[in-house]
């Protein structure tokens, strides 16, 4: 398991590492694609997808907006009637997106009627278990509370796909600015212990402190997301026209 508690914890507005700059430029290309309430309404799984999941209020929308450097990109999912939908974003060059992000409904919000809750949890479970394009999951967990029973259930639910390495996992311990340095280090250690239970030789699991406010962990999160998506092969330069072969020996 990788962890990145200290690396670049003071991301300035212009990171000096070119790889981080490139990764942030990539995450900032995120734009809204479509919204779906059923898996069948999603576009064909032609690009790798990364799902953003988290308990309501964990800071998921804020994290997506911070990665995208777009104040309201993920807040569409908060408008009444949209809370149970999967919102899809496209990332990469405008004319050649290379990945999609799926903002899945937040879970554990008490005020939602039981029927609706079950229905959307089913949509989410269905997506996480069956979507072939799913390449990675970013799970937002409030650094002050760490994994709630619902987060644990979700981890159990995806553990099989994570164990084989088919689906990568990044846990962002959000709102890290609300913790002292010492408490943040303790939270990170506790989260690593929990995630250690999912670790296998093939699994790709990372955990990082994250703050939208201070931008702690932003560069690392962008780098991880960028690394999950294979780069499009650079177009081969056009081969110089071969001299026409003589039809018959001169």
Binding site residues, ligand GDP, CB under 6 A? 54, 56-62, 106, 140, 174-175, 177-178, 211-213
Toward ligand GDP, which CB reaches closer, 4 or 62?
A: 62
Q: Residue 109 CB, nearest distance to ligand GDP (Å)?
A: 8
CA-CA distances (angstroms) from residue 64 to 151, 179, 198, 231, 247?
19, 21, 25, 21, 62
The pair of structure tokens assigned to 244 is 């026409």
- Backbone dihedral angles phi then psi of residue 27, each to the nearest 5 degrees: -65, -30
Toward ligand GDP, which CB reaches closer, 174 or 224?
A: 174
Q: Residue 207 CB, nearest distance to ligand GDP (Å)?
A: 16
Alpha carbon distance 140, 146 (integer Å): 9
Toward ligand GDP, which CB reaches closer, 61 or 208?
A: 61
Toward ligand GDP, which CB reaches closer, 102 or 212?
A: 212
Alpha carbon distance 170, 126 (integer Å): 20
Toward ligand GDP, which CB reaches closer, 215 or 226?
A: 215
Q: Residue 27 CB, nearest distance to ligand GDP (Å)?
A: 16
Toward ligand GDP, which CB reaches closer, 11 or 204?
A: 11
3-class secondary structure for 62-115?
HHHHHHHCCCCHHHHHHCCCCCCCEEEEEECCCCCCCEEEEECCCECCCCCCHH
CA proximity to 108, closest of 131, 139, 64, 72: 139
Q: Residue 66 CB, nearest distance to ligand GDP (Å)?
A: 8
Residue 160 is given by DSSP the state H
Q: Residue 188 CB, nearest distance to ligand GDP (Å)?
A: 15
Alpha carbon distance 169, 128 (integer Å): 12
Q: Residue 82 CB, nearest distance to ligand GDP (Å)?
A: 12
């Amino acid at each position: 398991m990788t962890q990145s508690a200290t690396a670049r914890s003071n991301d300035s507005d212009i990171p000096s590492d070119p790889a981080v700059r490139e990764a942030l430029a990539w995450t900032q290309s995120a734009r809204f694609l479509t919204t779906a309430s059923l898996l069948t309404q999603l576009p064909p799984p032609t690009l790798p997808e990364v799902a953003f999941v988290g308990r309501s209020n964990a800071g998921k929308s804020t994290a997506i907006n911070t990665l995208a450097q777009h104040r309201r990109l993920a807040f569409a999912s908060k408008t009444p009637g949209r809370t149970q939908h999967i919102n899809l974003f496209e990332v990469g060059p405008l004319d050649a997106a290379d990945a999609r992000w799926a903002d899945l409904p937040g879970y554990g919000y008490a005020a939602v009627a039981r029927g609706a809750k079950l229905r959307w949890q089913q949509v989410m479970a269905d997506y996480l278990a069956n979507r072939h394009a799913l390449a990675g999951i970013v799970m937002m967990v409030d650094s002050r509370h760490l994994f709630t029973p619902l987060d644990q259930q979700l981890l159990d639910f995806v553990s099989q796909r994570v164990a084989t390495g088919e689906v990568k996992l990044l846990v962002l311990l959000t709102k890290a600015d609300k913790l002292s340095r010492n408490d943040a280090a303790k939270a990170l250690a506790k989260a690593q212990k929990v995630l250690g239970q999912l670790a296998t030789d093939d699994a790709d699991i990372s955990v990082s402190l994250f703050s939208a406010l201070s931008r702690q962990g932003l560069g690392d999160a962008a780098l991880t997301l960028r690394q999950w998506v294979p780069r499009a092969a650079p177009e081969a330069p056009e081969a110089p026209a071969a001299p026409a072969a003589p039809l018959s020996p001169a």
